[in-house]
Amino acid sequence: MTHRRMVLTGILGVALAASADGAALAQEAVKIGLVLPMTGPFASTGRQIDAAVKLFLAREGAVHGGRKLEVILKDDAGNADATRRLAQELVVNDKVSVLAGFGLTPLAMATAQIATQAKVPEVVMAAATASITEASPYIVRTSFTLPQASEPMADWAWANGIKKVFTVVTDYGPGIDAETSFAGKFKAAGGSVESVRVPLRNPDFAPFLQRVSEAKPDALFVFVPSGVGAQFMKQFVERGLDKAGIKLIGPGDVVDDDILEGIGEVALGAITTHHYSAAHDSPANKAFVADFQKANPGMRPNFMAVGGYDGMRLVAEALKATKGDASGEKLIAAMKGASWESPRGPVRIDPETRDIIQNVYVRKTQKVGSELHNVEFATIPNVKDPVKARK
């Protein structure tokens, strides 16, 4: 063999090897470890996000940036120790490129160190304590923060003649965020606030609502986790607070779309500030709701579903931007500043905090035809997490 022929053969061999490596990369799936509470008291969150993830793949396809997305679902039952163990197994044994889900703040925080050490992006689709994204440079959020939803409610309440408010919140990160952000903003405007906190697990709201009744505020500001609103509203009515003229206000968790029909007419008139309603009036959302309900008869998508759907969108857009490179540093860099039109409206990932920037809507729970819906009547555009914005 001549020297020239040997060189050409060597070049061709390298080219073929590179082509084979590229083909293997394109065929190798990008694994997403989806950790959700599919059983236990917060199973409604897992059910909504799981349904939305499946819907994204059905609508948008599984291949993005030349790579196929493969979702591995694990049930942590809302237990932080289980979350940590499952996340570790997904990273070490399953070689996932992304961790996602996280229905409650303790679950998201339990995984932060794993995300940092493994350099694996952690896409928080549900948990809403403001500080979560500060726990790891690999955490990015597609849900919301409680201050993001609660501070606009303080502005609305003061502007609409409410002077005295009693707050009842669940005693964990998001509830404390909701209470402190609302109270701080409302007191700064000139209002007065009295507050109590209720246990996260097995809450009985009756004794706390009795204190509200005795205080006779203009409004009751409430935060409870998604799925717990029906129990709260039942006891709110049993205590006669609706008939006492106390307005019910708060972030939208208490009138969660997933359980709104089950809550019934006791929810009518509630005023909430939130980033998503199934009644959001846009072509993108109408198509999303129709497809979601067709795929999941008897379910209505809620804010957890849209957080899951957009979490998948974020992973897909990042893979397109990296041309299929699923290394953690490349993916998280691509996620910063990503923007798209969500069923909730225009959204963008804050490149500095990795939180989502989005519209917050003021809504009233009312009848639309024969159904109950959270009907938006005002928009606060492009809201950042106010806690980090002040730093």
What's the pLDDT band for 372 if we cut at 50, 70, 90?
very high
Q: Which of 13-17, 119-123, 214-218 is predicted with the least confidence, judged by mean pLDDT?
A: 13-17
What's the pLDDT band for 204 if we cut at 50, 70, 90?
confident
- The most distant pair of C-alpha atoms in the chain lies apart, rounded to whole Å, by 99
Helix locations, the chain, DSSP H = 3-27, 43-60, 80-92, 105-118, 146-159, 173-189, 206-215, 229-238, 260-263, 283-295, 303-321, 328-335, 386-389
| Tens digits of residue pLDDT in 138-149 | 999 999 999 999
Q: Which residues contact 89 (CB under 8 A, 6 or more apart)?
A: 74
Residues 38-62, mean pLDDT to the nearest whole number: 96
How far apart are alpha carbons 369 and 362 in whole angstroms?
A: 20
Residues 84-93, mean pLDDT to the nearest whole number: 98
Residue 385 has a pLDDT of 97
Question: Residues 121, 122, 126, 130: is their CA dihedral positive or negative?
Answer: negative
Residue 268 has a pLDDT of 92
Cα angle 357, 167, 134 (rounded to 5 degrees) comes to 35
Residues 81-110, mean pLDDT to the nearest whole number: 97
| Tens digits of residue pLDDT in 284-324 | 999 999 999 999 999 999 999 999 999 999 999 999 999 99
Phi and psi at residue 288, to the nearest 5°: -60, -50
Residues 80-90, mean pLDDT to the nearest whole number: 98
Residue 27 has a pLDDT of 62
- Domains detected in the chain: 3-144+282-354 (3.40.50.2300), 147-274+360-390 (3.40.50.2300)
Residue 82 has a pLDDT of 98
| DSSP 3-state of 64 | strand
